[in-house]
Amino acid sequence: MLKHKNAIVTGAGSGIGFAILSKFAENGANVWAFVHKQTSELEEQLNQIAQKNDVWIRPVEFDLMDEGTVKKSVKQVLSESGKVDILVNCAGIVNAKTLGMTSLDEMRQSMNANFFMPSLIMQLVSRKMMRQKSGNMINVISRAAPEYRPGAYAYGSSKMALLWGTKAAGRELAPYGIRVNGIAPGLTETKLGTGRQSEEDIERYVSANNIKRPAQPDEIADTVLYLASDMSSYVSGQIINCDGGRY
């Protein structure tokens, strides 16, 4: 499905990002795996995935909170690559606090990690894609963005900014043959998802879903794979809710 495609996946070291990386490799894509810290264990996992699927996976360390390392890492990839076909912005941070309990510094951190840096990466990668006259960008947003629920002030606001940016970029880049879409996952079985929730909170969340359980990372990755492939060739500027039918 993605044979001979080259993809950048941020946040690829764990959770949804790792599931996306694995799914892309299984479908023939080469991947630059942007991770916060490269460990020997992670390197071994990536080597096994690459060998199993006859692709290459190159880990790239970057700090989502540091504009300098983001620029350096992305420019390194762009300088060494012949073509970048796919960008997935998956890396981000969570801040689960109300307005009154969220400091301005925490708001800035959320906007930096969840909107400014993904936007910067899109800017840098889009220049190469514009020269190619082709490309595909997918932003992992969150179901929290349009939900306006209490207790996620900075997180929801920063993800809503990315949602708006995704739709705007979809229009701006379409003339260059670049598709930009987003996916808004619901609660997922990851360290940053169910891993930080109590059993009561998880039950409260899934009780408002048609499918009465959290998502598995692979289920989110399947939707990203659809958006990254030619199966979605007529989909542009859209946000797909992958939330189990939340109401």
Written as one string, the DSSP assignment of 89-138 is E---------GGG--HHHHHHHHIIIIIHHHHHHHHHHHHHHHHT-EEEE
Backbone angles phi, psi at 181, to 5 degrees: -140, 170
CA dist 36 and 46 (Å) reads 15
In three-state secondary structure terms, 179 is strand
CA dist 147 and 124 (Å) reads 30
CA dihedral 171→172→177→181, nearest 10 degrees, is -50
CA dist 217 and 16 (Å) reads 5
Question: Would you say the C-alpha torsion 32, 186, 144, 228 has a positive or negative sign?
Answer: positive
Known active-site residue 176: no
CA angle 149, 103, 17 (to 5 degrees): 60
213, two tokens: 């359980």
In three-state secondary structure terms, 242 is strand
CA dist 225 and 24 (Å) reads 7
Catalytic member of 155, 176, 205, 234: 155
Backbone angles phi, psi at 193, to 5 degrees: -100, -100
The residues carrying an active-site annotation are 155
